[in-house]
C-alpha cells in the first residue's frame, strides 16, 4: 500500500505532542529513549485500534434493505450490530450492518464477509504473528515473547490453535497436491504449463524421531507406553558454487581437498509422520510440483536407509543415486575406532580406506572391512552397507560431474523442523499436533510462508 506522506507526517507530529504531554505529567528525571519508544508504541497501538474501528464502521456506506442469502433466499437488514475481534492492535469492537430473516436461519454481515472477519476470533493479521511464534517457540514461551512485542496478552491455547490452523491448511494443500498429481488430466495440464525447468535438481530424504504422548497399549486401559515416531522429510533443492568471499573455514578446507564447494538454494521441504508407502505419495507429488520428473538430471543424495532408496527407485527410477559422503566416512571412522585400539595402527589404515572411498573404489573398502570383521561388529555391518550401495558411492565420478555428495541440507532440515521445535525440553505431542506444527514450519523454511498466510486470510470463506 502507498500512503499519503504529508498526512503521515502530520500524524507523527501530533503523536509526538501526545507522548511529550504524557511525559510532562511524570517526572522527567530518569526518562530515557526506551521510555519514549515504549510510549510511542503504546500510543500507536491505541491509534491502530481506533483507526481499524473507524475503517470497518465506515466501509459499508450504503445499507440495503434486502440482500441475497447464500442459500438462494433473502436476508433483510436488522440493525447495526456490534462484533468483537482480536487484531494486531488488541481486542476491539466495531459495529456493522447485520442482515437476517432468511428461512435458513443464518445471519450475515457484509463487512465480515468482505474482509474475511470471524467475530469473536483472531484476525488473519494477528494469526500470522501468532503462528510465526508457534512454529518457532514453545507455546508458553511464545506467549511471553508476543506480549513484549504486541503489548497485550494472548493465551497459549490461542497461539496453539492458530498455528495448527496454518498447519491444517498445509496438510490440506499436501493432500490436494497428492490427488492432483495422481490425476492424468491434471498431469497433462501441468505439462502444457511447463516453463524454465532446472537442468539439475536434487532431492534428499531423511527421518527424525518425534516423541508422541503416551497412549494405552492395545487391549489395556491403564498401562501407558511412550511412542517415538519417524517424521519423514523430503527436501528439493538446486546447487550452486559458493563464491570465494562467502566460504566458511570448513568450506575453504573442502575446496583444498576437492577443488570446488557447492551449497543448496531454492529449498522446498515437505514432511509427514506416515509409513513409507504413504509418504511415497507425498514424495512423488511434491517432486511433481517442482518438475522433478522433467529435469534433465535428477540427483538424490541421502543416507543408506533401505526404505529411502526403495522409494527413490520406485518413483524416480532414472534418478542418479548418491549415498551421503559424510555418513559413509563417519561409518568408517567408528569402525576403525572399534577395530584398532592403537592410534598409530588405526590412523594409517583409516586414511588409506577413506582415500579409496573418495576415489570410488568401493570394492577395496568392502575387502578392507571384511578383513577386520572378526574383531569388529561394525565392520561386519559395514560390509553389508557398502555392498548394498556400491554404485551410489562412486564419489570420484560424482565429483567430476559436479554433483553435491553431501546431504547436509536434509540433516539441517531435520534439525530445523524436528529438533529445534518438536524436541524442546519437556515437549510431548499428540500425533496430529506434531504433524501440523511440522508442516507449517516446513512452509516457513521453504520461503512460502506468505502463500500460506494468504490462504488463512480467506477465512471464514476458506473453511
**Nearest Cα to Cα of residue 273 among 133, 448, 437, 411:** 437
3 state DSSP class of 300: strand
Question: Given the DSSP bridges, would you call strands 262-272 and 320-323 parallel, antiparallel or unpaired?
Answer: unpaired
Asked if 80 and 96 touch (Cβ cutoff 8 Å), the reply is yes
Q: Where are the domains of the chain?
A: 5-121, 199-414
Residue with cell 511412542: 227
Rounded distance between C-alpha atoms, residue 277 and residue 338, angstroms: 36
The CA radius of gyration of the chain, in Å to the nearest whole number, is 29
How far is 165 from 168, CA to CA, in rounded Å? 5
In DSSP terms, which residues pair with 143 in a beta bridge? none
Torsion angle of alpha carbons 367, 373, 379, 381, nearest 10°?
Answer: 100
Question: Phi, psi (5° rounding) for residue 93?
Answer: -120, 155
DSSP β-bridge partners for residue 234: 205, 270
Which helix (DSSP H) or strand (DSSP E) does residue 15 occupy? helix 5-24
Dig out the grid coordinates for 237 from the structure. Answer: 533443492
Q: How many angstroms from the chain centroid is the CA of residue 211?
A: 19
Alpha-carbon distance 413 to 410, whole Å? 5
Distance CA 144, CA 224 (A): 33
pLDDT in tens, the chain (463 residues): 678 899 889 989 998 888 888 777 766 667 788 888 888 999 999 999 999 999 999 988 788 899 999 899 999 999 999 999 999 999 999 999 999 999 899 898 999 988 989 999 999 999 999 999 999 999 999 999 999 999 999 999 999 999 999 999 999 999 999 999 988 888 888 877 777 788 999 999 999 999 998 766 555 554 556 689 999 999 999 998 877 777 776 666 666 556 667 788 999 999 999 999 999 999 999 999 999 999 999 999 999 899 999 999 999 999 999 999 999 999 999 999 999 988 988 999 999 999 999 999 999 999 999 999 888 899 999 999 999 999 999 999 999 999 999 999 999 999 999 999 999 887 889 999 999 999 999 999 999 999 999 888 776 543 3
Q: Is 428 helix (H, G, I), strand (E, B) or coil?
A: coil
> Given the C-alpha cell 532431492, which residue does it identify?
203
Q: What is the DSSP letter of 199?
A: S
Contact 453, 124 (CB under 8 A): yes
What is each CA distance from 131 to 118, 271, 426, in whole angstroms? 17, 18, 20
460 preceded by a cis bond (ω within 30 of 0) = yes
Amino acid at each position: 500500500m502507498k500512503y499519503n506522506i504529508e498526512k503521515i507526517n502530520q500524524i507523527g507530529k501530533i503523536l509526538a505532542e501526545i507522548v511529550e504531554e504524557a511525559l510532562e505529567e511524570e517526572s522527567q528525571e530518569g526518562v530515557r529513549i526506551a521510555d519514549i519508544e515504549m510510549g510511542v508504541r503504546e500510543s500507536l497501538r491505541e491509534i491502530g485500534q481506533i483507526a481499524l474501528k473507524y475503517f470497518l464502521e465506515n466501509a459499508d456506506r450504503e445499507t440495503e434493505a434486502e440482500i441475497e442469502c447464500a442459500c438462494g433466499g433473502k436476508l433483510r437488514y436488522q440493525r447495526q450490530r456490534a462484533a468483537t475481534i482480536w487484531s494486531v492492535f488488541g481486542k476491539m469492537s466495531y459495529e456493522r450492518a447485520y442482515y437476517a430473516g432468511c428461512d435458513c436461519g443464518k445471519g450475515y454481515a457484509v463487512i465480515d464477509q468482505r474482509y474475511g472477519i470471524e467475530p469473536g476470533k483472531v484476525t488473519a493479521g494477528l494469526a500470522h504473528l501468532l503462528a510465526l511464534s508457534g512454529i518457532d517457540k514453545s507455546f508458553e514461551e511464545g506467549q511471553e515473547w508476543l506480549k513484549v512485542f504486541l503489548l497485550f496478552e494472548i493465551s497459549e491455547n490461542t497461539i496453539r490453535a492458530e498455528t495448527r490452523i496454518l498447519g491444517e491448511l498445509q496438510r490440506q494443500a499436501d493432500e490436494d497436491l497428492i490427488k492432483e498429481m495422481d490425476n492424468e488430466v491434471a498431469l497433462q495440464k501441468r505439462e502444457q504449463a511447463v516453463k524454465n525447468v532446472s537442468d539439475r535438481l536434487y532431492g534428499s530424504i531423511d527421518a527424525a524421531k518425534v516423541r508422541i504422548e503416551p497412549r494405552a497399549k492395545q487391549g489395556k486401559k491403564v498401562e501407558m507406553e511412550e511412542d517415538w515416531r519417524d517424521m519423514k522429510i523430503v527436501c528439493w533443492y538446486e546447487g550452486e558454487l559458493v563464491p570465494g568471499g562467502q566460504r566458511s573455514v570448513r568450506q575453504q578446507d573442502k575446496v583444498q581437498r576437492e577443488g570446488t564447494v557447492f551449497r543448496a538454494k531454492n529449498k522446498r521441504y515437505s514432511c509427514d509422520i506416515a509409513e513409507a508407502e504413504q509418504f511415497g505419495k507425498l514424495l512423488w507429488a511434491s517432486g511433481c510440483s517442482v518438475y522433478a520428473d522433467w529435469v534433465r538430471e535428477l540427483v538424490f543424495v541421502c543416507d543408506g536407509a533401505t526404505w529411502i532408496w526403495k522409494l527413490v527407485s520406485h518413483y524416480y527410477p532414472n534418478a542418479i543415486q548418491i549415498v551421503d559422503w559424510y555418513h559413509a566416512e563417519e561409518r568408517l571412522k567408528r569402525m576403525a575406532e572399534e577395530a584398532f585400539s592403537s592410534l598409530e595402527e588405526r590412523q594409517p589404515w583409516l586414511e588409506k580406506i577413506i582415500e579409496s572411498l573418495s576415489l570410488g573404489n568401493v570394492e577395496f573398502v568392502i575387502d578392507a572391512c571384511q578383513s577386520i570383521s572378526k574383531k569388529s561388529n561394525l565392520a561386519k555391518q559395514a560390509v553389508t552397507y557398502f555392498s548394498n550401495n556400491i554404485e551410489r558411492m562412486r564419489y570420484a565420478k560424482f565429483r567430476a560431474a559436479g554433483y553435491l555428495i553431501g546431504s547436509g541440507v536434509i540433516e539441517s532440515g531435520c534439525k530445523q523442523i524436528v529438533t529445534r521445535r518438536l524436541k524442546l525440553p519437556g515437549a510431548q505431542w499428540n500425533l496430529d499436533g506434531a504433524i501440523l506444527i511440522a508442516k507449517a514450519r516446513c512452509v516457513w523454511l521453504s520461503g512460502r510462508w506468505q502463500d500460506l498466510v494468504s490462504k488463512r486470510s480467506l477465512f471464514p470463506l476458506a473453511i
